[in-house]
Amino acid sequence: SYVLTQPPSVSVAPGQTARITCGGNNIESKRVNWYQQRPGQAPVLVIHYSSDRPSGIPERFSGSNSGNTATLTISRVEAGDEADYYCQLWDSSSDHYVFGAGTKVTVL
């Protein structure tokens, strides 16, 4: 089945830019979603269709997808962005949704 690879952790100083990668075979051909999950809370969709922002999500969150890597970029990072971030997509070969293992973003 399709595998999504994320780094376990990313650390970033406030005001800087965090980039979280999600690797997968020819992932550029797929629609990638990104979810933010703060401790003890339900996930929140922050990017869908690889680069679209749902209403209410700050413009600081953006997504891109090329080759074998999709990327979630958080600009001007704030303390409130500290959370786990998961990529996800629909794998048509197995008719399953697949999640990456998640990346913990720490704001220094």
> Which chain residues interact with other proteins by CB under 8 A?
1, 31, 33, 35, 37, 41-45, 48-49, 54, 84, 86, 88, 90, 92, 95-102
Closest CB to other proteins among residues 17, 46:
46
Gap between the Cα atoms of 89 and 101, Å rounded: 13
If DSSP codes are grouped into helix, strand and coil, which group holds residue 79?
helix
Gap between the Cα atoms of 53 and 63, Å rounded: 8
Closest CB to other proteins among residues 50, 71:
50
Minimal distance in Å, beta carbon 100 to other proteins? 8
Minimal distance in Å, beta carbon 92 to other proteins? 8
Closest CB to other proteins among residues 17, 106:
106
Query: Side chain identity at 80, as an amino acid letter?
Result: G
Gap between the Cα atoms of 105 and 95, Å rounded: 30
Minimal distance in Å, beta carbon 30 to other proteins? 9
Minimal distance in Å, beta carbon 71 to other proteins? 17
Distance between alpha carbon 32 and the CA centroid of its chain, in Å? 8
